[in-house]
A and B are shown apart, each in its own frame.
Chain A
Amino acid sequence: GESVGLHLPTLSVQEGDNSIINCAYSNSASDYFIWYKQESGKGPQFIIDIRSNMDKRQGQRVTVLLNKTVKHLSLQIAATQPGDSAVYFCAENGEGNQFYFGTGTSLTVIP
């Protein structure tokens, strides 16, 4: 079956530093990936996506890197702010319209 996992369950960073959150996926056929942010008591919120024909995509303060050779995704957050504190999930597309989510990494920003 599919599996998406994260290397680090928790991450603490100083405000203003850059954050890197990692994710491993197992299905080499997956061709679309999404990073979500989930704050306590809320549903996941889309941050950025990337297709398998790309290896890098940038948004506002966020960059996603895709390494298909080792089936690895990372999310980089520049100049991390207290409002970035949340759980971050990567998700990969599966059969049909299904998406498989990883376990999540809890990011804590220290003011």
Chain B
Amino acid sequence: GAGVSQSPRYKVAKRGQDVALRCDPISGHVSLFWYQQALGQGPEFLTYFQNEAQLDKSGLPSDRFFAERPEGSVSTLKIQRTQQEDSAVYLCASSPGRLATNNEQFFGPGTRLTVL
């Protein structure tokens, strides 16, 4: 079956532009996670959804970052007024259950964002 997909795979934005990154989780997966991965670093948690509810957004670095999952499936991560420090790979992961410690997270390929 299809895994987690993300689009676009690559995005180049001028500083100050808004961007929207899309995640299509595995069908039926309850939980959805967004991570930011800087070059040469491990992924860093941004936010977590359980169905359509955003239960944890403590990792979002600023109020320029906004995520939604209105129907409990597809999710969008939006970054307003992009800055150079936003350049990174943005990873989405989904898992079938509610508890991360009981359910494997399946990662998408990521969107590489470059802010010029």
Report A's interface with B, CB cutoff 8 A. 4, 31-32, 41-46, 49, 51, 89, 91, 93-104
Contact = CB atoms under 8 A, between A and B. Distances in A.
Interface residues of B, number: 26
Contacts of B66: none
A97 B108 contact: no
Nearest to B43: A101
B42 A103 contact: yes
B18 interface: no
B108 A99 contact: no
Interface string B50-68: 0000011011000000000
B105 A46 contact: yes
Given A44-B91, A94-B45, A103-B40, 5 more contacts: A43-B4, A51-B101, A96-B55, A98-B59, A104-B41
29 contacts: A4-B42, A32-B101, A42-B107, A42-B109, A42-B110, A43-B4, A43-B93, A43-B108, A43-B110, A44-B107, A45-B107, A46-B104, A46-B106, A51-B101, A89-B43, A91-B42, A93-B100, A93-B101, A94-B45, A96-B56, A97-B31, A97-B33, A97-B99, A98-B100, A100-B45, A101-B42, A101-B43, A101-B44, A104-B40
